[in-house]
Amino acid sequence: SGQQSEPKGDQPLKIVLLVKSLGNGFFEAVADGGKEAAAELGNVESIYQGPSTATAEGQIDIIESLIAQKVDGIAISANDRDALIPVTKKAMAAGIKVISFDSGIAPAGRIVDLIPSDAELIGRQQVQLIAELTGYKGQIGILSATSQATNQNLWIEWMFEEIKDPKYKDMEIVEVVYGDDAADKSYREAVGLMQKYPGLAGIISPTTVGVLAASKAIEDEGMKGKVQITGLGLPSEMQHYVENGTCGQMALWNPVDLGYTSTMILEALITGKVDGNVGDKISVGRMGTVTVGKDGVSIMGTPFVFNKDNIATYAAMF
């Protein structure tokens, strides 16, 4: 099945942003970034796609139809780093450029993996953020997304690494729980953490659903000020809790930039400006350049920290 994409004259390049699932503010913002890049590039049609529930199988089905309609490039935030490999390989064999972003695919299944930030940077930063909030002491719980979420799991590993540093000697991570990215379960798990560890000082929730639900749980349980919360959250969703002090600070990279950069990288790959080999420097518009590192991993930057002072500005954007 060696289908090659024929040159298409002045047809716009079809570049797809395939996200974990629809109906999530983070990815809607990613889509905006894609559109921005497309407008800037001119010859690109940006397509936003995702299954209605976050499953690898749903993404695979969509990729099959993308292969059939001979799109030019796909950027994927993967629900499963392994399960997508056979189909993305098939896509690449059909001449489609495939990269992953946000939540990666294992190296065999894509050319470049654009990670918003280094897993190490994210993990370490989360611990620093909570330490600043709790005054470098106390028990910390982690509320993650699903137990299968690879990016979260990687970050959490780094959190455990970071906390070994002597400056955190009065802190310990007591437990990792999973809210499955569902509001009610995340809420319940957050309450559970507070019940189980009456002396709990803080919660890290490196997922937008989780940090939101945990903030609400802290507020409802009357633990505002006693239990700190940080994590990765969307400013527009977290504005309330950041402004009222429940969540002192939290971080996130800019999803608009993520969509923008992914689209830029794909355009460069499709038009043959670069091949995506290790060491390649790809110029990505207003974001400057991205360097392809080991295993095709490219890093966008350090997560941005939001607090009371700056959140309103960003809430208007994403």
Partner 1 sequence: MEIDKTLASSDRLVDENKRLISKIGSLLARWEGILVLIIIGMVIVFSNITPYFLDYFNLMNATFTFMEKAVLALPIIFIILSGDIDISGAAIIALSSFSMGFASSHGAGTAQVVITGLAVGALAGAFNAVFIINFGIPAIAVTLATQSFFRGISQAILEDQAYTHYPESFSYFGQGYIPGTIIPFELIFFLVLAGIFAYVLHFTSYGRKLYAIGNSATAARFSGVPVNRIRFTNFVLHGLFAGIVAVLLTSRIGSTRPNIANGWELEAITLVVLGGVSITGGKGSIVGVILSIFLIGYLKFGMGLINLSAKVMIITTGFLLITAVLIPVIIDAVGRRNKLKMQRRRG
Partner 2 sequence: MNALKEMLKKREATLILLIVVLAVAVSTRAPGFLKGDNISRIVNDTSILIMVGIGQFFVILTGGIDLSVGSVIAFSGMAAAMMNQSSPGTPVILILLAGMAIGLLLGLFNGVIVAYGKVPPIIATLGTMSIFRGFTFVLSKGQWVTAHEMSESYMSIPHGHFLGLSNLIWSAVLVSVLLFFFSRYTRSGREIYAIGGNKTAAKFVGVSEKKVNLIIFSMSGLLSGLAGVMWTARYAAAVNETATGFELMTVAACVLGGVNIAGGAGAVPGVILGALFLGIINNALPVVNFSPFYQMFIQGFIVLAAMFINTIMDKRSEKKMLKRRA
DSSP the chain: ----PPP-TTPPEEEEEE-S-SS-HHHHHHHHHHHHHHHHHSSEEEEEE--SS--HHHHHHHHHHHHHTT-SEEEE--S-TTTTHHHHHHHHHTT-EEEEESS---GGG-SEEEESS-HHHHHHHHHHHHHHHHTS-EEEEEEES-TT-HHHHHHHHHHHHHTTSGGGTTEEEEEEEE-TT-HHHHHHHHHHHHHH-TTEEEEEE-SHHHHHHHHHHHHHTT-BTTBEEEEB--HHHHHHHHHTTSS-EEEE--HHHHHHHHHHHHHHHHTTS----TT-EEE-GGG-EEE--GGGEEE--PPEEEETTTHHHHHTT-
84, 129, 227, 264: residue in contact with partner 1 (rule CB under 8 A): 84
**313: contact with partner 2 by CB under 8 A:** no
**183: contact with partner 2 by CB under 8 A:** yes
**308: contact with partner 2 by CB under 8 A:** no
Which of residues 146 and 271 has its CB atom nearest to partner 2 in the complex?
146
5, 43, 65, 195: residue in contact with partner 1 (rule CB under 8 A): 65
**247: contact with partner 2 by CB under 8 A:** no
40, 107, 120, 146: residue in contact with partner 1 (rule CB under 8 A): 146
**85: contact with partner 2 by CB under 8 A:** no
**47: contact with partner 1 by CB under 8 A:** yes
82, 165, 220, 295: residue in contact with partner 1 (rule CB under 8 A): 82
Return the one option of partner 1, partner 2, none that residue 209 interacts with (CB less than 5 to 8 A, by type). partner 2
**25: contact with partner 1 by CB under 8 A:** no
Q: Residues interacting with partner 1, by CB under 8 A?
A: 1, 3, 22-23, 47, 49-53, 55-58, 60-62, 64-70, 80-87, 106, 146-150, 153
Q: Residues interacting with partner 2, by CB under 8 A?
A: 21-25, 27-28, 52-53, 147, 176-178, 181-184, 187-189, 191-193, 195-196, 209, 212-213, 215-216, 220, 236-241, 243, 315
